């Protein structure tokens, strides 16, 4: 800063060889920023590179979510009971504690991605999650297994919350981002759908006498995570613009010997109180906001139902139809197909939303996220009722599977729509809004499977499912209310204004 300033052309001609200054705007005090058209800016990357990063970060999140249900199959519960004499509730706790770890992980790892960048903020915890997956596979008793599952879930929270920030980095235009957010959500939702199916096949591939077969899914998850970690370490680049700019400023200083060159991130003084306020306190403060609370509650309830059905669908088909332990997990594929179809519909609707934003002069309209929920969201409670009341042997199995398909379709539509609404409404502090959502939805997803078996056994599949369906049905008017009155509520809500 103390050295005399030079013009951009003077710096370019004398010493900058690796990075042309045309990519940056250089102030007289040496402060640089990206030029709007700079190809080094993540938002201006080629489409193929953006798609590669979207898919790889999506796969990282897929693995984190896959492991959340890899120990939910009936076979795992039986093996754990035979080896250690554990109850059904303790076996289910291995999944619930993993999800509980996901609830708290984002509060810690969100600031890491903003201080040190997305890549290290996602991949370093992901590597630690892989280590604890192997620790679970080699656990010598149930308490150690549960502790390792909690820690594995805690570190898995990093890709789940921070990978979404990558999309904001490389797709700054919200009218375009929605389409790729739907693609990313496909990985998020398909992970837990595949977990029980793959884990069951892995465990049943071993002889009945193999009491250690319950360890195989954790070995598989650890190896899958490590393979993906190495791939991402090689192929991924940093996407957080302040960190990219910081690295470029350092390179320019070295190339030009002009040590006054710096970026805003270089002047940032890391304060613990500010980090606590931004990433630990603000997400909980935002839950007090009526808009955030209602939208997050809606998405968290359907997320909890999603996990409940993933973990208990085999139990339903055992109880009502007498299916075998192997075939009982196959209805989860209907849930998989439903969520996949919902993601495709979300991607198609993103084009409609983009057109509405263009017609509005480029300004986002958060309430325009809700028409899709209004038209499709009701399919989730409808699917719950259909699945519950057609579960008996007298009705062909395809009918309840259609209901399961509708559950997945309605779920991802509601879940994705609520997330997009939060991001559009709280653009500057969308990370805090997403952290609020991640925390509450993980609490629901951890708690719901714990009471699912008792609900269906004590009340029957029909009425147990109906209770869940009636609560979901009661929430369906939420998008209608927000679509009509949301803009008015936002303008009158001073808490929104403060964000």
Judge whether 126 lies within some domain. yes
pLDDT of res. 233: 94
For residues 262 and 313, membership in a common domain is answered with no
Judge whether 1 lies within some domain. no
Number of domains observed in the structure of the chain? 3
For residues 277 and 194, membership in a common domain is answered with no
Contacts (Cβ under 8 Å, ≥6 apart) of 304: 441, 444, 445, 447, 448
For residues 100 and 171, membership in a common domain is answered with yes
Judge whether 216 lies within some domain. yes
For residues 111 and 187, membership in a common domain is answered with yes
How many Cα atoms occupy the beta-carbon half-sphere of 445 within 13 Å?
A: 29
Judge whether 171 lies within some domain. yes
Question: 382 versus 103: which is more confidently predicted?
Answer: 382
Q: Which domain holds residue 335?
A: 271-499
| Cα–Cα distance, 381 to 388 (Å, whole number) | 11
Helix axes 142-170, 47-66, angle to 10 degrees: 160
For residues 259 and 209, membership in a common domain is answered with no
Burial (0-12, 13-18, 19+ Cβ within 10 Å), 402: middle
| Cα–Cα distance, 346 to 183 (Å, whole number) | 9
**Coil, strand or helix at 25:** strand
159 and 120 in contact (C-beta within 8 Å)?
no
This prediction has a pTM of 0.84
| Cα–Cα distance, 470 to 453 (Å, whole number) | 18
For residues 57 and 24, membership in a common domain is answered with no
| Cα–Cα distance, 479 to 291 (Å, whole number) | 11
pLDDT in tens, 32-70: 777 777 788 888 899 999 999 999 999 999 999 999 988
For residues 207 and 261, membership in a common domain is answered with no
For residues 148 and 206, membership in a common domain is answered with yes
Q: pLDDT class for 20, splitting at 50, 70, 90?
A: low
Q: Which of 284-298, 357-371, 418-432, 439-453 has the lowest mean pLDDT?
A: 418-432
Is residue 203 over pLDDT 70? yes
pLDDT of res. 265: 67
221 and 70 in contact (C-beta within 8 Å)?
yes
pLDDT in tens, 164-186: 778 888 888 777 777 788 788 88
Is residue 403 over pLDDT 80? yes
pLDDT of res. 399: 93
Q: Give the strand pairing for 32-34 and 24-26.
A: antiparallel
Is residue 9 over pLDDT 60? no
Q: Output DSSP code: residue 4.
A: P
Q: Where are the beta strands (DSSP E) in 272-350?
A: none
pLDDT of res. 428: 66
Q: CA torsion angle for 100, 102, 105, 110 (degrees, to 10)?
A: -140
Q: Using a pLDDT cut of 90, give the percent of the chain over it.
A: 32
For residues 91 and 161, membership in a common domain is answered with yes
| Cα–Cα distance, 135 to 132 (Å, whole number) | 5
For residues 145 and 233, membership in a common domain is answered with yes
Q: How far apart are the first and last CA of the chain?
A: 33
């Amino acid at each position: 800063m103390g050295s005399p300033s030079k013009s951009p052309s003077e710096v370019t001609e004398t010493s900058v060889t690796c990075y042309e200054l045309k990519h940056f705007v250089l102030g007289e005090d040496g402060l640089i920023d990206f030029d709007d058209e700079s190809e080094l800016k993540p938002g201006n990357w080629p489409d193929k590179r953006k798609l590669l990063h979207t898919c790889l970060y999506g796969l990282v999140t897929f693995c984190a979510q896959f492991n959340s249900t890899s120990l939910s199959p009936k076979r795992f519960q039986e093996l754990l009971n035979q080896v250690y004499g554990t109850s059904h509730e303790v076996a289910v706790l291995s999944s619930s504690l993993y999800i509980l770890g996901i609830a708290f992980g984002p509060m810690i790892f969100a600031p890491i991605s903003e201080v040190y960048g997305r890549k290290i903020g996602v991949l370093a915890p992901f590597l630690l999650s892989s280590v604890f997956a192997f620790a679970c596979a080699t656990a010598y008793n149930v308490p150690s297994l549960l502790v390792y599952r909690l820690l594995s879930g805690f570190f898995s929270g990093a890709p789940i919350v921070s990978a979404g920030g990558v999309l904001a980095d490389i797709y700054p235009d919200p009218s375009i981002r929605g389409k790729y957010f739907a693609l990313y959500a496909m990985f998020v939702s398909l992970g837990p759908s595949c977990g029980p199916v793959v884990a069951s096949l892995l465990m049943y591939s071993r002889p009945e006498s193999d009491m250690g077969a319950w360890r195989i899914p954790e070995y598989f998850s650890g190896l899958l995570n490590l393979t993906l970690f190495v791939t991402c370490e090689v192929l991924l680049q940093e996407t957080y613009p302040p960190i990219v700019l910081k690295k470029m400023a350092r390179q320019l200083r070295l190339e030009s010997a002009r040590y006054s060159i710096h970026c805003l991130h270089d002047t940032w003084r890391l304060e613990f109180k500010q980090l606590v306020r931004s990433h630990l306190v603000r997400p909980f403060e935002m839950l007090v906001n009526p808009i955030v609370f209602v939208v997050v509650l809606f998405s968290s309830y359907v997320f909890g139902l999603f996990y409940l059905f993933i973990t208990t669908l085999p139990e339903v088909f055992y109880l009502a139809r007498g299916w075998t332990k192997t075939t009982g997990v196959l209805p989860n594929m209907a849930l998989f197909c439903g969520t996949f179809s919902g993601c495709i519909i979300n991607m198609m609707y993103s084009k409609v939303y983009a057109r509405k934003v263009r017609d509005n002069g480029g300004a986002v309209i958060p309430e325009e996220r809700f028409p899709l929920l209004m038209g499709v969201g009701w399919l989730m409670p409808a699917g719950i009722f259909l699945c519950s009341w057609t579960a008996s042997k007298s009705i062909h199995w395809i009918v309840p599977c259609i209901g399961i398909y509708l559950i997945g379709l309605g779920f991802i539509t509601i879940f994705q729509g609520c997330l997009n609404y939060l991001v559009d409404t709280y653009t500057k502090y969308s990370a805090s809004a997403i952290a609020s959502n991640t925390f509450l939805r993980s609490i629901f997803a951890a708690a719901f499977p714990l009471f699912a078996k008792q609900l269906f056994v004590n009340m029957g599949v029909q009425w147990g499912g109906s209770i869940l369906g009636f609560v979901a049905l009661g929430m369906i008017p939420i998008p209608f209310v927000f679509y009509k009155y949301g803009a008015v509520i936002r303008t009158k809500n001073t808490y929104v204004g403060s964000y």
